[in-house]
A and B are shown apart, each in its own frame.
Chain A
Amino acid sequence: MSGWAVEAENLVKKFPQNKPTHGAGEAGGKKQRPWPFGPRPARTWFTAVDGVSLQIPKGEVFGLLGPNGAGKSTTIRMLCTLLEPTSGMARVAGYDVIREAGKVRQNLGTVLAGERSIYWKLTGRENLEYFAALYHIPPEAARRRVDDLLERMELTARADDLVEKYSTGMKQRIVLARALLARPPILLLDEPTLGLDPQAARRVRELVKELQAEGHTVLLTTHYMEEADQLSDRIGIIDQGRIIALDTPAGLKQQIGQKDAIKLEVAGWRSEMGGALQQLSGVERLATHYLGTDSLWEVSLHTDDSRAVLPGVIERLGREGARVVNLNIAQPTLEDVFIHLTGKALRD
């Protein structure tokens, strides 16, 4: 058995996709009748995870950071045995996720993103007692554990209310308690703060730190860069199914060295302006993100010398009919690392 809490080697997951079969198509000038009256549509494959390799030592908080659709959740689903990898190998707590799936599930607590993974027509306590039995916890130990977790999640007073009467934050605390029931050495938390208000999200982050202090290994996926930065010992940046960088948060930021990250809020932005700005001397990477209010766009760019570059950028935007309404020059964040590596914003 290896010493890693989580280990993956060249993990690949492909999903089959049928080509659209709406109506008759044309092939070689001849009309094709749709299946089942014509030829069966060719099967294509969508690669969600494309050769992910990682090794997480015991006791580490490892952050998997990437935009929506990057392959974070698919990776988590393979590690927690819900999905079978197309190829590659993964071990959790030393157990193979395919051949020893039962052992993996005994040693794993998982919170999946956006799931309604508890029963709203049961009380918080009934939910935890139910899942404690599913995790094969003996009855006496289960009763104590449920009481402890309700206390820890500050839900004791509402433990006997139906979950449908809970707030979103309280539901997420029950989901976290469910993941902790069997006291698993490894926790997979897929977007654990998604949809929570700032206060509830902060409580979840505190909990992750507490769990690490207690000796749990945590694999956390998020598309919130501050969360990954704050919580993770190491971060893997994932994009299009591949881990494109893996280091400590500080190490990742050092990859773009002493560069300045300029963030402009621009009114009247048009996509062709991006090309015009990138032609300016000193502008290295550029990414845009629609802010959703008053037709404002956030334009992020990297440069070695913001003082030299900024006047030209503002002048060029003005000439193109756009207006800079706000600007900020900062030290690089993980978002800037992502822009530097991929040329696009994390929130796209």
Chain B
Amino acid sequence: MTTTAPLSPSLSRPGLAAELRALWVIFKREWLIFRRYPSWIVALFIWPVIFPTAYIFSARALAGPDGGGLALFTQAAGTPDFIGYIAVGTTVWMWQNVTLWTIGLALRNEQTRGTLESNWLSPTWRFSFLMGAALVQGLQLAIFILVAGIEFWLLYGVRFHGHPLLILLVFLAAVPAIYGLGIAFASLVITSKEANNFVFLVRGLVMIFCGITFPVSVMPGWMQAIAAWLPPTYAIHGIRNASLNGADLAALLPDLIPLTVFGLGWLAIGYLAFVWMERRARQTGAIGQY
């Protein structure tokens, strides 16, 4: 028995505007959920101060009671402001770390929450779900850096001398590489179902090789060679140069160019990893598995 009642046509109207609206609501949803877990506000104020503190006191101790050791530091680092130096390094490290935990786990969190499949049942372009997470992370990062900057200024007396637009330019140049790695990571986590080991590996590499609290030049040659292949090395160096030394655009190019090249590479790797994962998930049913 079948009925013959006429059914109104589907309300779905695909197109570019519809895809952009979908991207906007993914961003809005992430932001709404983020706001409804108020503990993030506490973390936002505490982490920028707590993490660099141990390094700052270590540096003070190593500099000696009269600050005699600072001359050697200034010679190697190009600035006597070791607090600002450490603050920039640890902020970029936290950025990379938080990106892996947020963008890198964006799809995995949807999977464990049970909402990944219902999102993927819609006609929205599936890569938008990661891009929406990346946009929210960008907003969170902006707030994080603003809070960190104010706290460093108030608590440690750090003064940034560079042009704000040039500092922003180095941050923006670092975005594709840092987020591309996060997107690639997000795709791998969906199939491996495990994130911790990879996050610990990446943040360990950044901490050791990228010079978050010391100049890369103090490391042995083979370690410097590895550092040259890690985008955060250039991000940390460039942001320090722009914010503490007041470097101009020409002086920043040695950092901006590799960041752009790495960024294009990592974005491509991230997208290809996503396409591979999406296909594999359809073949194995991986997105519905916990």
Give chain A's interface residues, CB within 8 Å of chain B.
15-16, 57-60, 74, 77, 80-84, 102, 105-108, 110, 112, 115-119, 121-122, 126, 129-131, 133-139, 141-142, 145, 162, 178, 181-185, 212-216, 233
Contact = CB atoms under 8 A, between A and B. Distances in A.
B9 to A, nearest CB: 8
A116 B290 CA distance: 13
B108 to A, nearest CB: 15
B123 interface: yes
A137 B19 CA distance: 10
A136 B117 contact: no
B12 A136 contact: yes
Given A102-B123, A119-B33, A214 B7 contact: yes
Contact of A136 (B24, B113, B114, B124): B124
Query: Size class of B's contact patch?
Result: 35 or more
B113 A116 contact: yes
Contact of A134 (B6, B32, B114, B119): B119
A217 to B, nearest CB: 8
Contacts of B197: none
A122 to B, nearest CB: 6
Interface in B96-150: 113-115, 117-124
A117 B4 CA distance: 31
B8 interface: yes
A122 B33 CA distance: 7
A115 B11 contact: no
Interface stretch (B49-57, B151-159, B172-180, B277-285): B277-285
B21 interface: yes
B201 interface: no
- Which of B7, B8, B117 counts the most chain A CB atoms within 10 A? B7
A130 B25 contact: yes
Contacts of A102: 14, 123
A141 B284 CA distance: 37
Contact of B282 (A83, A117, A131, A136): A83
B288 A129 contact: no
A136 B13 contact: yes
Given A59-B2, A59-B3, A115 B117 contact: yes
A261 B12 CA distance: 49
Contacts of B169: none
A112 B118 contact: yes
B114 A117 contact: yes
B247 interface: no
